[in-house]
Amino acid sequence: MENNNSKFYFKCKNCGELINSFKDWFSHGQHCPKCKTNRVDTIYTGNNDEIKKFITADNNPQSLWHYFDFLPLNNSKNIVSEGEGVAPIERWGFLEDYAKRKYNLSLEIFINRNDKSFATGTFKDKGGSLAASVLKEHGIKEYVVASTGNTASAFAHYLAKAGISCSIFVPENSLSDSEAHIATYGQKLFRVKGDYAKAKKVAADYAKKYGILMTGGNLDPLRLEAKKTQVFEMLRIMGKIPDVYIQALSGGTGPFAVEKAINDIKSTGLVEKLPRFLLSQGHYCAPMAHAWAEAKKNNFPDGYENEYPIYKNPKVLIPTIATGNPGMYPLMAPLVRRSGGEIFPVTEELAVDLARLVAYEKAIKIGPASAAGLLGLFESLKRGLINDAETVFVNIGESAGRALDFLKEVAYTSETISSVDDCSRFNREKYKDFVWEKFENYDKL
Contact positions vs ligand PLP (CB under 6 A): 122, 124, 148, 150, 218, 247-254, 320-321, 369-370, 373, 397-398
CA gap 239, 55 in Å, rounded: 8
Exactly one of 34, 138, 191, 362 binds Zn ion (CB under 5 A); which one?
Answer: 34
**DSSP per-residue codes, 306-361:** G-----SS---S-GGG--SS-TTHHHHHHHHHHHT-EEEEE-TTHHHHHHHHHHHH
Would you say how long the chain is, in residues?
445
Q: Residue 21 or 122: which CB sits closer to ligand PLP? A: 122
CA gap 222, 225 in Å, rounded: 6
Residue 188 near Zn ion by CB under 5 A: no
Selection from Zn ion, ligand PLP, none that 242 binds (CB < 5 to 8 A by kind) is none
Stretch that binds Zn ion, among 14-22, 190-198, 345-353, 372-380 (CB under 5 A): 14-22
Start-to-end CA span in the chain (Å): 58
CA gap 9, 22 in Å, rounded: 8
Q: Residue 72 or 149: which CB sits closer to ligand PLP? A: 149
Selection from Zn ion, ligand PLP, none that 251 binds (CB < 5 to 8 A by kind) is ligand PLP
Write the DSSP symbol of residue 231: H
Residue 31 near Zn ion by CB under 5 A: no
Selection from ligand PLP, Zn ion, none that 12 binds (CB < 5 to 8 A by kind) is Zn ion
CB-based burial of residue 196 (10 Å sphere; 0-12 exposed, 13-18 middle, 19+ buried)?
buried
Stretch that binds Zn ion, among 34-42, 274-282, 344-352, 365-373 (CB under 5 A): 34-42
The residues in 246-265 that bind Zn ion, with binding defined as CB under 5 A, are: none
Q: Output the smallest distance, CB 370 to ligand PLP, in A.
A: 5
Q: Output the smallest distance, CB 144 to ligand PLP, in A.
A: 17
Q: Output the smallest distance, CB 23 to ligand PLP, in A.
A: 26
Q: Output the smallest distance, CB 225 to ligand PLP, in A.
A: 14
Q: Residue 34 or 201: which CB sits closer to Zn ion? A: 34
Phi, psi of 15 (to 5 degrees): -115, -5
Q: Output the smallest distance, CB 25 to Zn ion, in A.
A: 12
Selection from Zn ion, ligand PLP, none that 229 binds (CB < 5 to 8 A by kind) is none
The residues in 195-224 that bind Zn ion, with binding defined as CB under 5 A, are: none
Q: Residue 19 or 295: which CB sits closer to Zn ion? A: 19
Q: Residue 29 or 83: which CB sits closer to Zn ion? A: 29
Instruction: Give the count of beta carbons closer than 10 Å to the beta carbon of residue 188.
Output: 14
Residue 32 near Zn ion by CB under 5 A: yes
Task: List C-alpha distances in Å: 443 to 48, 204, 377.
Answer: 44, 44, 12
Q: Residue 295 or 366: which CB sits closer to ligand PLP? A: 366
CB-based burial of residue 302 (10 Å sphere; 0-12 exposed, 13-18 middle, 19+ buried)?
exposed
Residue 13 near Zn ion by CB under 5 A: no
Phi, psi of 266 (to 5 degrees): -55, -40
Q: Residue 24 or 142: which CB sits closer to Zn ion? A: 24
Residue 35 near Zn ion by CB under 5 A: yes
Selection from ligand PLP, Zn ion, none that 35 binds (CB < 5 to 8 A by kind) is Zn ion
Task: List C-alpha distances in Å: 7 to 52, 140, 175.
Answer: 18, 20, 39
Selection from ligand PLP, Zn ion, none that 248 binds (CB < 5 to 8 A by kind) is ligand PLP
Exactly one of 8, 9, 10, 12 binds Zn ion (CB under 5 A); which one?
Answer: 12
Residue showing the smallest CB distance to ligand PLP in the complex:
397
Stretch that binds Zn ion, among 35-43, 120-128, 194-202, 255-263 (CB under 5 A): 35-43
CA gap 43, 35 in Å, rounded: 19
CA gap 250, 319 in Å, rounded: 10
Per-residue exposure over 90-105, b if at least 16 CB sit within 10 Å of its own CB, e if not: eebeebbebbeebeeb
User: Can you say whether residue 64 is alpha, beta or left, with left for phi > 0 and alpha for psi between -120 and 50 degrees?
Assistant: alpha
Exactly one of 14, 74, 176, 313 binds Zn ion (CB under 5 A); which one?
Answer: 14
Residues whose CB is less than 8 angstroms from the CB of residue 322 and which lie 6 or more positions away in sequence, other chains included: 148, 171, 173, 195, 196, 250, 282, 284, 285, 314, 316
Give residue 365's identity as a one-letter amino acid code.
K
Q: Output the smallest distance, CB 214 to Zn ion, in A.
A: 20
Closest by Cα among 221, 84, 64, 73 to 138: 73
- Which residues of this chain interact with Zn ion, rule CB under 5 A? 12, 14-15, 17, 32, 34-35
